[in-house]
């Protein structure tokens, strides 16, 4: 019996043999059910039938109804050949470089999407955890307060649309919210109806600040409507790309572009109401999620990856990192891995022993997936780090677990962020991230 993984590999291997035989590009098209087909420009009829049988033999039941697609006979071959979702096949099984893969899947291709062109912009920091319950939103709150105390204008964007967390910390009461939220921009923007949305609010819940620093919030949702705000109705219309629409004189708009437009609108609004934003904190959805994909790969200049030291978490990050390692060209892969930084939240009392285990497991995860293997006998500088290298992306920034903080809610509990206990827990985290921002500004 042939399984999904074996069928996918077999299809790429067969495509590679055809690419070398004809010295021509071949595209493996994989549909929503994982069924494979080969798209080829032109090939003799007898060979077409041979390929059909080979695909059925090697890939069934994961084979398309029409296993061989002749691009020369298609009305619009550019739907395949010029798709934004085309990715080069893994080099280890398709070394010619002539095989590409087109995934038609429910999982967002934004995990391997290209960066959005923004020109000059503030630092954007994505805070992400493969699993929930890792104090990501609390860390976002602490970081926003710390950067604002240093005189920065900080914009916190709640991108956890399905389970908003940071919103309730920076605006603990409904009257503190703006009229609209990120969700509103996502549904209004495609119809060019996003002008004058009230998306941001100056947060007074971030604690007392010295100097001219400010914390602004762009919540997931705005002020509750007594008649119902239709939040779920809006949410169900968010997670997809929009086709071109001649009636709106609009080209295709990807989900990533919709998120980017919402963040840009928030940045612009803060600049109009106060002054230019220095740092944007993107509090992302956990798990393998479309919003996390956009935040990490396309919006951020720094991605803080939260993890607890357990098998499930490292398996999850290994799958994600492997996808980048296998599907991206070297330049794009390097661009992503250069901005990653592990964070170890909830570090227990056995501080040093826990961090040693965490660091070893993180380094092993990176070494298997994203680090380069140095050529034997070569002193060539490659992207690889020793386990104890504190400059490495796998080397974690710790956040201590302190019992006295359990049950306290930042923003709602006065004095949380300025307490000695909170400083002990989050002090090293916020200081290290501030240093990383400064270092990137000096590059």
Q: Assess contact for 89 and 101: CB atoms under 8 A.
A: yes
pLDDT at residue 179, rounded to an integer: 93
pLDDT above 90 for 278: yes
Domain termination residue (choose one: 104, 131, 163): 104
Asked whether residue 27 falls in the same domain as residue 147, the answer is no
In the chain the first and final C-alpha atoms are separated, in Å, by 54
Nearest-5° Cα angle at 17, 333 to 75: 80
pLDDT at residue 199, rounded to an integer: 97
Whether residue 207 lies inside any domain: the answer is yes
Whether residue 378 lies inside any domain: the answer is no
Which of 181-190, 266-275, 376-385 bottoms out in mean pLDDT, i.e. has the lowest? Answer: 376-385
Which of 89-103, 175-189, 265-279, 315-329 bottoms out in mean pLDDT, i.e. has the lowest? Answer: 315-329
pLDDT at residue 133, rounded to an integer: 80
Residue whose structure tokens are 């612009």: 268
pLDDT at residue 280, rounded to an integer: 98
Which of 154-168, 238-252, 276-290 bottoms out in mean pLDDT, i.e. has the lowest? Answer: 238-252
Asked whether residue 176 falls in the same domain as residue 70, the answer is no
Asked whether residue 96 falls in the same domain as residue 115, the answer is no
Whether residue 226 lies inside any domain: the answer is yes
Asked whether residue 86 falls in the same domain as residue 135, the answer is no
pLDDT above 70 for 116: no
Whether residue 163 lies inside any domain: the answer is yes
Asked whether residue 120 falls in the same domain as residue 98, the answer is no
Domain containing 9: what range? 4-104
Share of the chain above pLDDT 70, in %: 93
Alpha-carbon span 231 to 245, nearest angstrom: 25
pLDDT at residue 378, rounded to an integer: 60
Q: Count up the domains in the chain and report the number.
A: 2
Whether residue 347 lies inside any domain: the answer is yes
Dihedral angle of Cα 250, 254, 258, 263, to the nearest 10 degrees: -130
Domain termination residue (choose one: 69, 104, 139): 104
pLDDT at residue 111, rounded to an integer: 56
* Neighbour count for residue 173 (Cβ, 10 Å): 10
Alpha-carbon span 361 to 344, nearest angstrom: 12
- The mean pLDDT value for 175-202 works out to 93
Which of 14-28, 153-167, 325-339 bottoms out in mean pLDDT, i.e. has the lowest? Answer: 325-339
3-class DSSP string for the chain: CCCHHHHHHHHHHHHHHHHHHHCCCEEEEECCCCCEEEEECCCCHHHHHHHHHHHHHHHCCCEEEEEEEEHHHCCCCHHHHCCCCEEECCCCCCCCCCEEEEECCCCCHHHHCCCCCCCCCCEEEEEEECCCCCCHHHHHHHHHHHHHHCCCEEEEEECCCCCCCHHHHHCCCHHHCCCCCHHHHHHHHHHCCCCCCCCCEECCCCCCCCCCCEEEEECCCCCCCCCCCCHHHHHCCCCCCECCEHHHCECCECHHHHHHHHHHHHHHHHHHHCCCCCEEEEECCCCCCHHHHHHHHHHCCEEEEECCCCHHHHHHHHHHHHHHHHHCCHHHHHHHHCCEEEEEEEECCCHHHHHHHHHHHHHHHHHHHCCCCCCCCCCCCCCCCCCCCCCCCCCCEEEECCHHHCCCCECCECCCCCCHHHHHHHHHHHHHHHHHHHHHHCC
Asked whether residue 129 falls in the same domain as residue 50, the answer is no
Whether residue 368 lies inside any domain: the answer is yes
pLDDT above 60 for 107: no
Alpha-carbon span 173 to 171, nearest angstrom: 6
* Residue-wise pLDDT tens digits, 324-368: 877 777 888 899 999 999 999 999 989 899 999 999 999 999 999
Q: What is the mean pLDDT of the chain?
A: 87
Tokens found for residue 336: 């992503």
Q: Assess contact for 98 and 27: CB atoms under 8 A.
A: no
pLDDT above 90 for 290: no
* Residue-wise pLDDT tens digits, 192-218: 889 999 999 999 887 667 778 999 999
Whether residue 88 lies inside any domain: the answer is yes
pLDDT above 60 for 443: no
pLDDT at residue 32, rounded to an integer: 76
pLDDT at residue 159, rounded to an integer: 94
pLDDT at residue 434, rounded to an integer: 96
* Residue-wise pLDDT tens digits, 227-271: 666 788 888 888 878 877 777 778 888 888 999 999 999 999 999
Asked whether residue 91 falls in the same domain as residue 155, the answer is no
pLDDT above 90 for 289: no
If pLDDT is split at 50, 70 and 90, which confidence band does 411 have? confident
pLDDT at residue 214, rounded to an integer: 95
Domain termination residue (choose one: 104, 132, 165): 104
Asked whether residue 66 falls in the same domain as residue 13, the answer is yes
Asked whether residue 250 falls in the same domain as residue 365, the answer is yes
pLDDT above 90 for 82: no
Asked whether residue 262 falls in the same domain as residue 116, the answer is yes
- The mean pLDDT value for 61-69 works out to 90
Whether residue 287 lies inside any domain: the answer is yes
pLDDT above 60 for 117: no
pLDDT at residue 120, rounded to an integer: 52
Tokens found for residue 345: 């939240």
Alpha-carbon span 95 to 369, nearest angstrom: 18
Asked whether residue 24 falls in the same domain as residue 154, the answer is no
Asked whether residue 54 falls in the same domain as residue 137, the answer is no
* Residue-wise pLDDT tens digits, 421-437: 888 899 999 999 999 99
* Residue-wise pLDDT tens digits, 292-317: 888 888 899 999 999 999 999 999 99
347: CATH? 3.40.50.300
């Amino acid at each position: 019996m042939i399984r999904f993984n074996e069928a996918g590999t077999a299809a790429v291997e067969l495509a590679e043999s055809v690419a070398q035989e004809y010295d021509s590009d071949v595209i493996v098209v994989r549909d929503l059910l994982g069924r494979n087909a080969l798209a080829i420009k032109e090939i003799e009829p007898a060979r077409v039938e041979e390929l059909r049988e080979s695909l059925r033999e090697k890939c069934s039941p994961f084979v398309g109804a029409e296993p061989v697609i002749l691009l020369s006979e298609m009305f619009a071959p550019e739907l395949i050949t010029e798709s934004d979702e085309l990715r080069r096949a893994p080099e280890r099984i398709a070394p010619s470089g002539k095989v590409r893969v087109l995934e038609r899947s429910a999982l967002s291709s934004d995990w391997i999407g290209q960066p959005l062109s923004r020109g000059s912009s503030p630092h954007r920091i994505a805070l992400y955890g493969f699993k929930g319950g890792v104090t990501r939103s609390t860390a976002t709150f602490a970081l926003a307060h710390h950067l604002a105390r240093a005189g920065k204008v900080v914009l916190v964007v709640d991108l956890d649309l399905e389970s908003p967390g940071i919103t309730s910390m920076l605006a603990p009461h409904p009257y503190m919210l703006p009229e609209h939220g990120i969700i509103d921009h996502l549904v209004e923007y495609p119809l060019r109806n996003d002008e004058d949305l009230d998306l941001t609010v100056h947060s007074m819940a971030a604690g007392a600040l010295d100097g001219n620093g400010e914390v602004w919030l762009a919540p997931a949702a705005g002020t509750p409507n007594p008649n119902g705000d239709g939040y779920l109705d809006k949410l169900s219309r968010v997670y997809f790309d929009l086709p071109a629409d001649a009636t709106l004189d609009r080209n295709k708009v990807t989900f990533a572009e919709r998120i980017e437009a919402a963040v840009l609108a928030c940045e612009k609004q803060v600049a109009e109401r106060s002054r230019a934003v220095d740092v944007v904190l993107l509090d992302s959805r956990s798990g393998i999620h479309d919003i996390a994909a956009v935040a990490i790969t396309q919006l951020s200049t720094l991605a803080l990856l939260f993890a607890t030291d357990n098998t499930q978490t490292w398996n999850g990050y290994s799958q994600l990192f492997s996808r980048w390692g296998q599907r991206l060209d070297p330049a794009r892969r390097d661009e992503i891995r250069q901005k990653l930084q592990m964070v170890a939240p909830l570090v227990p009392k056995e501080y040093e022993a826990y961090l040693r285990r965490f660091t070893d497991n993180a380094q092993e995860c990176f070494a298997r997936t994203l680090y380069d293997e140095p050529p034997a006998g070569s002193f060539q500088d490659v992207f690889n780090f020793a386990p104890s290298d504190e400059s490495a992306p796998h080397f974690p920034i710790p956040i201590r677990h302190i019992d006295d903080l359990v049950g306290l809610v930042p923003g709602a509990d006065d004095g949380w962020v300025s307490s000695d206990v909170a400083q002990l827990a989050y002090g090293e985290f916020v200081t290290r991230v501030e240093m990383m921002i400064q270092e990137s500004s000096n590059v």
